């Protein structure tokens, strides 16, 4: 049964996804965090964006300070479930024509949402995106083999502090009580296996290349010059597949350009969105 | 002096990823000649899974918290062999300060713990299934049905929606058992369970209440919709032929509008649905009797 999501009021969704709205602009920008951490990833960018836009940030269910008792194993086993979170947040706030900015896997989540509900979105900005992290023979090189990603799941387990909370209910033969699962460890990046493993699986074992060519909104693809997760080649591949895409390489290192190079990311976004600097 | 410590010390630049300093321990563990790591990219040292971990957890955390402790990662030596390590990392002025220890034994211990956890998880899943499911029909059992129904009632109070409580009893089931044997009786119960799954929805509570009696709570379903669903149930059950006749059931339904502000509890509503069921039986069976318990 999946009643957890069906009877949610607007207030429920705001608190379920820990939605935060700031800024005064006429246009709305939605910032969606990627796998691993939460909305705080955007902290270096949102003060600047608030001057131009109404800024919406949120946590996917299972991340950050989302309401964990809304977590539904089935819903969040594929990226479509996370896309549903995006759609419900937009609907709840009565948003239309939003500029969606997604980091990493959220770029794909945004794309799924924008194809399900095109009217909600006007443009997509993708920071270090990849439609598929897997190497698939000679036709596509996502950068990782299945074994690498299995090792990742194992590594996440080994870095999880909170075993007692996790194991106790199993030993006691009861499901997680609400108090126990109400909050993640408190840090903004959590490896709690109950939530992060399905997200990792949905992120790293999926192949969403087929939706690229169906994306009709204008897209800005920002790739890092040196990113071990999403290579420049992957960005170029996306540019070729998406009908209306602008592709830029940001001179930076790593997968978190919005944290390490926020000014460069902002500049590219402003030019794509025709915002005078 | 730093070369005498049995722990690895090195620094790297977060902006360009270059290794800027290592002590000898790092080179020994990774099988590099002394000093040869300097100027190389940090990414070369880590397994691909570790790189994802660094990018998804470690760097964002460092940029926010500035220091991380006891992170378990996997490094690669020159022969590409994997070596588990534990790392403490600090960031200052775009420089990462790493101190690492090999963690081969600790890693084995973790792996044992993980294997035990996986076993426990599997056992817990099996136990939960057994504790909540009727073994014959695979529907919810009575205990699980009460638990799930109470959850639905609480939700319905919050959202002001309607729930319909349905009791279904197979007509003349005793005859099936007496004339065709208990095995055939069990088969009929299984078939009825399948039809219940066909007719009702994923969001409904569908349970074997006991014997030949079934209980269903229809989610967000007012009077007319419940009536239509019960009608469909009568029709679909007719496809089960037993004792040379289509199978029939009697149904009692109590509909509650939880937006009315009036309060009730599960057992009182079910008693009302049961009363309707007996009315259906007394009125000749193979029919549904309904009441609006809370308008």
Residue A62 inside a domain? The answer is: yes
Q: Tell me which chain B residues have a C-beta less than 8 angstroms from the C-beta of A253.
A: 14-17
Residue A188 inside a domain? The answer is: no
pLDDT at residue A5 tops 60: no
Rounded to the nearest integer, the mean pLDDT of chain B is 94
Quick one: pLDDT at residue A190?
75
CA within 13 Å, CB half, A149: 20
The predicted-structure confidence for B221-271, as pLDDT tens digits, reads as follows 999 999 999 999 999 999 999 999 999 999 999 999 998 888 889 999 999
Percent of chain B whose pLDDT exceeds 90: 83
Quick one: pLDDT at residue A107?
98
Check whether domain B2-107 has CATH 3.90.550.10, yes or no: no
**More reliable by pLDDT, A238 or B159:** A238
Nearest residue on chain B to A7, alpha-carbon basis: B159
List Cα–Cα distances, A133 to A232, B59, B186, in angstroms: 13, 20, 50
Distance CA B216, CA B91 (A): 59
Answer CATH for B142-294 from 3.30.70.270, 1.10.340.70, 3.40.30.10, 3.40.190.10: 3.30.70.270
Closest CA relative to residue B189, chosen from B218, B169, B204, B167? B169
Using CB atoms within 10 A of its CB, is residue B222 exposed (0-12), middle (13-18) or buried (19+)? middle
CATH code of the domain covering residue A225: 3.40.50.1820
The predicted-structure confidence for B160-198, as pLDDT tens digits, reads as follows 899 999 999 999 999 999 999 999 999 999 999 999 999
The predicted-structure confidence for B25-70, as pLDDT tens digits, reads as follows 999 999 999 889 999 999 999 999 999 999 988 999 898 889 999 9
pLDDT at residue A163 tops 70: no
Rounded to the nearest integer, the mean pLDDT of chain A is 88
Closest CA relative to residue A62, chosen from A257, A200, A208? A200
- Give φ, ψ of A63 to 5 degrees: -120, 160
In angstroms, the separation between the Cα of residue A220 and the nearest Cα of chain B is 22
Do B11 and B97 meet the contact criterion of CB atoms below 8 Å apart?
yes
Distance CA A254, CA A81 (A): 27
Quick one: pLDDT at residue B263?
84
> What band does A166 get if pLDDT is binned at 50, 70 and 90?
low
Residue A182 inside a domain? The answer is: no
| Residue extents of the structural domains in chain B | 2-107, 142-294
Q: Which residue intervals of chain A are DSSP H helices?
A: 10-16, 46-49, 79-92, 105-116, 146-158, 163-172, 178-181, 193-204, 232-241, 257-260, 262-272
Q: Tell me which chain A residues have a C-beta less than 8 angstroms from the C-beta of B203.
A: 1-3, 6
Q: How many domains does chain A have?
A: 1
Instruction: Say if the ipTM goes beyond 0.85.
Output: no
Would you mind telling me the total number of residues written for chain A in this entry? 277
Tokens 């990462």 belong to B96
Residue A221 inside a domain? The answer is: yes
pLDDT at residue B1 tops 90: no
The predicted-structure confidence for A105-157, as pLDDT tens digits, reads as follows 999 999 999 999 999 999 999 999 999 999 998 989 999 999 998 898 898 88
Whether B212 sits among the annotated catalytic residues: the reply is: yes
pLDDT at residue A176 tops 60: no
The predicted-structure confidence for B261-278, as pLDDT tens digits, reads as follows 888 899 999 999 999 999
Residue A267 inside a domain? The answer is: yes
Contact: B15, A189; criterion CB under 8 Å: no
Average pLDDT over residues B93-108: 95
pLDDT at residue A253 tops 60: yes
Contact: A34, B202; criterion CB under 8 Å: no
The answer to whether domain B2-107 and domain B142-294 are alike in fold is no
List Cα–Cα distances, B293 to B231, B268, B272, in angstroms: 20, 10, 7
Quick one: pLDDT at residue A11?
86
Residue A189 inside a domain? The answer is: no
A66: containing domain: 10-132+207-272
- Give φ, ψ of A27 to 5 degrees: -90, 150
Q: Among B15, B42, B55, B67, which would you mutate to test the A interface (most chain A Cβ atoms within 10 Å of its Cβ)?
A: B55
């Amino acid at each position: 049964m999946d009643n957890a999501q069906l009877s949610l009021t607007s207030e429920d969704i705001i608190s379920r996804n820990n939605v935060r709205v700031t800024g005064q602009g006429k246009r709305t920008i939605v910032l969606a965090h990627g796998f691993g951490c939460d909305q705080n990833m955007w902290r270096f960018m949102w003060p600047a964006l608030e001057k131009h836009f109404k800024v919406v940030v949120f946590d996917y269910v299972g991340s950050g300070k989302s309401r964990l008792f809304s977590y539904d194993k089935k819903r969040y086993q594929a990226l479509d479930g996370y896309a549903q979170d995006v759609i419900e947040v937009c609907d709840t706030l009565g948003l239309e024509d939003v500029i969606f900015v997604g980091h990493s896997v959220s770029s794909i989540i945004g794309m799924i949402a924008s194809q399900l509900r095109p009217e909600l979105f006007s443009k997509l900005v993708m920071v270090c995106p990849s439609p598929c992290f897997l190497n698939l023979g000679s036709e596509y090189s996502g950068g990782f083999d299945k074994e690498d990603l299995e090792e990742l799941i194992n590594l996440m387990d080994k870095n999880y502090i909170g075993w007692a909370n996790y194991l106790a209910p199993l030993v006691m033969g009861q499901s997680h009580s609400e108090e126990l699962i109400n909050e993640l460890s408190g840090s903004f990046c959590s490896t709690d296996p109950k939530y992060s493993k399905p997200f990792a699986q949905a992120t790293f074992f999926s192949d969403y290349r087929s939706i690229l060519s169906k994306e009709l909104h204008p897209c800005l693809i920002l790739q890092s010059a040196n990113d071990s997760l999403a290579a420049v080649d992957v960005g170029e591949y996306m540019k070729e597949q998406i009908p209306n895409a602008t592709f830029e390489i940001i001179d930076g290192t790593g997968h978190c350009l919005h944290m390490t190079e926020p000014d460069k990311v902002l500049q590219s976004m402003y030019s794509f969105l025709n915002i005078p600097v | 002096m730093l070369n005498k410590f049995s722990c690895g010390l090195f620094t790297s630049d977060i902006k360009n990823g270059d290794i800027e300093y290592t002590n000898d321990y790092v080179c020994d563990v990774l099988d590099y000649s002394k000093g040869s790591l300097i100027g190389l990219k940090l990414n070369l040292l880590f397994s691909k899974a570790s790189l994802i971990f660094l990018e998804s957890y470690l760097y964002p955390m460092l940029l926010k918290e500035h220091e991380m402790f006891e992170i378990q990662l996997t490094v690669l030596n020159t022969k590409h062999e994997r070596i588990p390590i534990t790392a403490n990392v600090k960031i200052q002025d775009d420089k990462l300060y790493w101190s690492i220890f090999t963690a081969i034994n600790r890693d084995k211990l973790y792996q044992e713990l993980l294997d035990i956890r996986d076993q426990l998880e599997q056992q817990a899943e099996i136990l939960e299934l057994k504790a909540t499911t009727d073994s014959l029909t695979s529907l919810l059992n009575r205990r699980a049905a009460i638990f799930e129904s109470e959850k639905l009632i609480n939700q319905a109070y919050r959202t002001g929606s309607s729930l319909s409580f349905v009791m279904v009893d197979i007509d003349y089931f005793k005859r099936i058992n007496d004339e065709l044997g208990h095995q055939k009786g069990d088969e009929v119960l299984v078939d009825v369970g399948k039809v219940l799954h066909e007719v009702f929805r994923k969001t409904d509570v569908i349970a074997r209440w006991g014997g030949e009696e079934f209980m269903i709570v229809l989610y967000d379903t007012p009077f007319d919709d419940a009536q239509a669903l019960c009608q469909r149930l009568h029709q679909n059950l007719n496809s089960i032929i037993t004792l040379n006749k289509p199978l029939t059931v009697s149904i009692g339904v109590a509909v509650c509008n939880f937006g009315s502000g009036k309060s009730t509890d599960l057992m009182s509503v079910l008693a009302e649905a049961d009363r309707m069921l007996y009315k259906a039986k007394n009125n000749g069976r193979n029919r549904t009797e309904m009441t609006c318990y809370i308008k």
